């Protein structure tokens, strides 16, 4: 690696995790992800340092840094800011140039972004008012069932007859889950029921944007195979999922740092 190599970093400062992606002119060089902890400022610095050291690069070699996410304001270094919508779109577009709908299912809310055929953000919608529309619903039910969140995807795929919840409220679904367990419902059927309910909410969001293909599912929800399958079923398409769904916004931030590089240095 020569000294005049140019690098770009994207940092996504989220409420649960801080992610950094380092790219050069051609490809992803390194990435890092840490729990956000008590100080966004300190963790963001550690995440970037770690990504740089993994990529054997130094801060001086960075030609651009873009930060995004809820904590973007607290970035401890000189960086430009882009909205998480722009970054998410840029990241998914770079991995899947055919993407027209990007669904980001996070722990607190779900976003659906519509892209133009050229890959620009045309419109977006958020579901943030109700836990049933987000990964939080899964967390609530997983806690009742005493199952690790990372295990629920594969378990749910085993379901033969998913439970149909009579409610769309995560709190009521929690009590319904308890009654279903008492009635002898299988764990996988309950989980598949939760996936279906969540997927229905997500599909509503996408339909309001008007569905287009291809569809990319990213964010923590992209790591849940049961949810991916349920969303695909609800939309009637095969859903594309990045290899590292949690990193797409940080990747997009790095892409934007490269694309929108100031002309003069």
Partner 1 sequence: MPFGGVDIGSTMTKAVIIDGQGKMMASVIGPTGAEHRHLALAVMDQTIEKTNLSFDQLDFIVATGYGRINVPFADKQITEITCHARGIRALFPTARIIIDIGGQDSKGIKLDAEGKVMNFIMNDKCAAGTGRFLEVIAETLGIKLTEIGELSLKAKGYVRISNTCTVFAEHEVTTRLTEGATIPEILAGLHEAFAGRVVNMVRSLGIEKDMVVTGGGAMNIGLIKAIEEKVGFPVRVPPEPLLTGAFGAALMGKDLLARGITPERERRLEGVTFFK
Which residue ranges make up the site for partner 1 (CB under 8 A)? 108, 129-131, 136-137, 140, 167-172, 179, 182
Q: How far is the CB of 170 from partner 1 (least distance, A)?
A: 5
Nearer to partner 1, 98 or 167 (CB): 167
| Cα–Cα distance, 249 to 175 (Å, whole number) | 35
Nearest approach, Cβ of residue 155 and partner 1 (Å): 22
Nearer to partner 1, 112 or 131 (CB): 131
Location of structure tokens 């801060």: 59
d(CA 91, CA 256): 9
111: its two tokens: 């976003």
For partner 1, the closer CB: 106 or 242: 106
From the DSSP assignment, how many helices (H) and strands (E) are in the chain? 8, 10
DSSP output for 9-25: EEEEE-SSEEEEEEE-S
Q: Which is nearer to partner 1, 70 or 140 (CB)?
A: 140
Report in angstroms the alpha-carbon separations of 8 from 2, 60, 94, 119, 142: 15, 11, 15, 21, 38
CB of 5 to partner 1, least distance (A): 43
Nearest distance in Å: CB 244, partner 1 = 27
Residue 125 C-beta: closest distance to partner 1, Å? 17
Instruction: Please say which residue, 102 or 105, places its beta carbon nearer to partner 1.
Output: 105
Nearest alpha-carbon partner for 118 in 100, 132, 133, 138: 100
* Nearest-10 Cα torsion for 101, 102, 105, 109: -80
Report the nearest approach of partner 1 to the CB of residue 235 (Å): 24
Nearer to partner 1, 81 or 168 (CB): 168
């Amino acid at each position: 690696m020569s000294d005049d190599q140019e690098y770009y970093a994207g940092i996504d400062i989220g409420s649960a995790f801080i992610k950094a992606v380092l790219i050069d002119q051609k490809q992803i060089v390194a990435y890092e992800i840490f729990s956000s902890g008590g100080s966004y400022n300190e963790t963001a610095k550690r995440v970037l340092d770690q990504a740089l050291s993994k990529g054997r690069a130094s801060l001086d070699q960075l030609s651009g840094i873009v930060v995004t996410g809820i904590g973007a304001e607290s970035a401890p270094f000189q960086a430009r800011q882009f909205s998480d919508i722009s970054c998410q779109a840029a990241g998914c577009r770079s991995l899947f140039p055919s993407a027209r709908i990007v669904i980001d299912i996070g722990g607190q809310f779900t976003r659906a972004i519509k892209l133009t055929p050229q890959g620009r953000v045309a419109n977006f919608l958020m579901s943030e008012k109700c836990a049933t529309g987000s990964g939080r619903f899964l967390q609530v039910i997983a806690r009742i069932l005493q199952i690790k969140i990372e295990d629920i995807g594969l378990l749910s795929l085993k379901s033969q007859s998913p439970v149909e919840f009579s409610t769309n409220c995560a709190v009521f679904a929690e009590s319904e889950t308890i009654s279903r367990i008492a009635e002898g419902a299988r764990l996988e059927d309950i989980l598949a029921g939760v996936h279906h309910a969540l997927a229905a909410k997500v599909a509503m969001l996408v339909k309001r944007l008007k569905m287009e293909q291809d569809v990319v599912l990213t964010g923590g929800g992209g790591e849940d195979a049961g949810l991916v399958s349920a969303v695909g079923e609800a939309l009637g398409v095969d859903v594309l999922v990045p290899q590292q769904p949690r990193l797409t916004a940080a990747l997009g931030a790095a892409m934007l740092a490269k694309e929108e590089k100031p002309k003069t240095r």
